Amino acid sequence: DAGITQSPRHKVTETGTPVTLRCHQTENHRYMYWYRQDPGHGLRLIHYSYGVKDTDKGEVSDGYSVSRSKTEDFLLTLESATSSQTSVYFCAISDYRTDTDTQYFGPGTRLTVL
């Protein structure tokens, strides 16, 4: 998985609790992305980062925040988890310079909000 790890790999939590997912890379890639994958929706971009402390919103950013204080780590936080945020979350990295660049994905985190 191209030097990308995600933690935790599985998490069950209750509605209203805060949750933080971590993505860690050893590739020194500039760009990092958080996606969620749901049946019938494919992959949807939540937030992405184009450098330390530089982040931007994706298609489904409501209810999520991110932080990137180091090149290698990108955190996704659900401030107050809801059942609609039950999903599989994937982190991806890219050394985007042109639109021919590919993305490399982590193994995913399965989050269940009860």
Partner 1 sequence: SQQGEEDPQALSIQEGENATMNCSYKTSINNLQWYRQNSGRGLVHLILIRSNEREKHSGRLRVTLDTSKKSSSLLITASRAADTASYFCATYQGGSEKLVFGKGTKLTVNP
Q: Does residue 31 touch partner 1 according to CB under 8 A?
A: yes
Q: Does residue 59 touch partner 1 according to CB under 8 A?
A: yes
Q: Does residue 102 touch partner 1 according to CB under 8 A?
A: yes
Beta strands in 1-103 (DSSP E): 4-7, 10-13, 19-25, 31-38, 42-51, 54-57, 64-70, 73-78, 87-94
Q: Does residue 112 touch partner 1 according to CB under 8 A?
A: no
Min separation Cβ 26 and partner 1, Å? 15
Query: In this structure, what are the phi and psi dihedrals at residue 61, rounded to the nearest 5 degrees?
Result: -85, -15
Coil, strand or helix at 13: strand
Given the rule CB under 8 A, which residues bind partner 1?
Answer: 1, 4, 31, 33, 35, 40-45, 48, 50, 58-59, 90, 92, 94, 96, 99-100, 102-108
